[in-house]
Structure 1
Amino acid sequence: MRSPRSAHTTPGTAYPVRWLGVSVIPLLRNSFVLGLAAFMLLAQSALIPARATDANEPESSSVASDLEQEQEASRLELRSVADEAELAAKALAALEGDIAALRADQQELDRKIAETAARRTDLDQRITAGEQSMTGLSERQESVRLSLLSRRSVLAEVLAALQRIGRDPPPALLVSPEDALSSVRSAILLGAVVPEIRAETAALAADLKELATLRQAIASERVSLAAALEQNAAEEQRLANLAAEKAALQQESQRRLDRERQRAEALSVRSSELESVIASLAEEIVSLREAAEAARKAEEERQRQLAERLERARAFAAVAVPDKNRIMPAYQFSKLSGTLSHPVKGETVRHFGADDGTGHTLAGEVLATDQGATVHAPADGWIAYAGPFRSYGQVVIIDTGENHHVVLAGMEQIKVAAGRFVVSGEPVATMGQTRFAGSAALSLASERPTLYIEIRKDGQPVDPRLWWNDDMSSRKASNDT
């Protein structure tokens, strides 16, 4: 509801009152300290946030500890990966050396294979020459054989004559003339034949010797060529086996080299990932530590402020609890922030500064309560006004001192009169059954009775939530439309 803007004076009012810029009675300005109740209230209010903060600190420490353990595990894994990478690098170097040696061996084998091929060519040429020589020797052998065959009849005659001479030798010359004539004839015949026989015999012996020599040379050449061919074939086979073995070793070494390279690349990628994880964890740990340090400083500041409040509360508690029959406020109203209770039990449906339904902002707050509920004075003070006001029902204004005023409106029955001094918690009015017309502009979901509360300082409205100690001031007001 909107606050009235004009000054007025109501019959039965002990003091002139203006809703804005209220003219208040002179009050005693001396300060009183808070009592034992304020001390207990401050002590209780201090325990809850302290416990909440203490509960959060182990959680932050646990998270930071978990991150540090994870970071240490990542470091250990990184060291293991680095060791594996070093071993992989050594294996790569060894394999590359082996492959280089195998390539050199392969080149040497290729050279020897080329030499063997050249020897094979030379042997082939020798074999060809040998075959040609053997062909010539064979032809010569055949020629000698044919020559011998052609002279077989002459040889036969010579041999027959020689045999006859051997069986029947010629008689001596002193024998008979017939015998001498035979002897002469035989001598003449032998004298004519023997030189020829000797020549034929020498030629025959030479041919036979040459034939034997040729046969021996042919046999020897065949043996030599066969041995050379066998040796060359064995060398070719040995070199071919070595080449195949070296090629297989080179292929296997190349496969191992490729695997080691892939492993080294994988280790490098994993190492980079681990370094990134460690850096990220380090940043997160630093962030958590900074946040924990900020929280610690904030908690220290809160504890410091709390200690100051508790110290004030202890000082206030040292003073005797105010007499319930007192005739002036026991405490300075400005020192009571966060310690007052709401005048009535209920639910805050509109807060200070909200839309009041007429296009203006609310200068106080609205509580939905029960019918017949008792309204109590929230603080010590003098009743500056008590009575009806327009369509807002019964209105009570309490002067709490230090130019502070508490306005209560929307009640049905008032139990106090203007000029009277009331203490905190004293009943001042009761609520009706429904809302008054002055609250109709507020769009609320129910027709429950509503109490309008306004606190003013030097005639200007201030947020009442600064003074309440219960949770109604922190509840979210409903948006009843």
Structure 2
Amino acid sequence: MRRPAKSTPRSNPAGIAAPALLLAFAVGLLSGSPLSGGLFSGPRPASAQAADPAADPAASPAADADPERAARELRRIEEDLEGGRSSKARLDRLARELAREVDRLRTDMAETATRQQRTEETVGEVEATLSVLRHEAGEKRGVLATRQLELGQLVGALQRLARRPPEALLLMGRPPLETVRTGILLEAAIPQINAEAERLKAQLASLAEVEANIREQRVRLDTATEELARERRRLAALADEKARLLATTETRAAGTAERLRMLSESARSLRELLAGIEAQRARERAEEQRLAALVRPPEPPAPATAPGPPAPPPAAADTGAGVPLPTARPDRSRAEAAATPLLALLPAAPPITTAKGRLIRPVGGTLARSFGQSDPEGLRNRGIVIAARDDATVVAPYDGSVIYAGEFAGFGRILIIEHGEGYLTLLAGLGRIGLQVGQRVLAGEPVGTMRPRQAAGGDGRPELYVELRHNGDPIDPLPWFSGLTGKAKG
């Protein structure tokens, strides 16, 4: 007798296929996401390979049909994805915090530089006052010495006459009238001597007051000098910290600086240098546009109608001149984002045209020559010249990017800052430059220092040449700056 066959429970294809399809979709997302090239760049776990039929063609159907295993694998993948998102969020927060820290440092440096300029001006005023007081004290000492000599001679004569007794005057053989006249003159000279003594006493008191004022100004000068030294040390510490945070830009700046150095060597004048820089930037923009036009995304595949010859692999794009260009790599955007300086995350400054009349004075000092005024060689200035103190701090007049920093024949060390809208500032005559090509600067941020006194020519005061250009043409910078009013001497 045949025994009835055992009833086998029917499998549920839909219930098994759903987790498997979802698992395959999650694995595909993981392998194609940007995180797989960074945080999850290692080999996939064996459990993931077992859950992916494409990764293990010999996997048994029973393993693929295990819904609990698929669910566990899916949960693990979701946890990995969530961890990757959290790591990326932490990195983004760190980048923003570093950008804010750099911004805070630059603002602090700008404020410190402003205080340092005020201290330098105070030191200059005190030194000028001391010079006047010393000259006045010297004149008073000379007058006092003359008066003391005259008064001493007169008093000595009176003392000699006073030692003689009256009877001696009768025995000298002089006429009585002459003796009477001598007595009258002596009696009249005594009030004059007393008045002269009072004037001498007043002048001595005035000299003592001047000397006390000199001592007070000397103390004030010492205090201001100490404050200046503290501000310079603080500024140096801030500069070191900023250099540490921005050290990642050195490699990028080196290539641009080398190209600009070669351009500087080939230029014969400052006009050619500026024109060459603008031409190079125009060529770079044109090359970027040309490459953007050549590198296009691949065309969508045509619907398959009939078998045909295989299409050439999209490994390169033809430029039309027989030179293949490589296609864009998938991780190009990530590499460029990683190379972006932290300052790129900061908000852009308002246009420079909105700040006309409010640009920061690049250095403390007096206006030596105005725009259009002739220099000692008889050439008309295309900018202005500011006479400053030796080693004075030089700051950026407005936000911008450094497009040239270094030596240039006939101008010494120069710095060129591009502000946008066709405006750029040229600073020449610096003793030290603390920036590199490609760096962004904020308004009031220190960019260098003036030459020391022994390196300056003329009357010994170092001079900063400031030129403002718009679309390559020099314009008068004086109406743009605050705190630079008046007419230059000469």
Check whether TM > 0.5: no
Which of 1 and 2 has greater Rg? Answer: 1
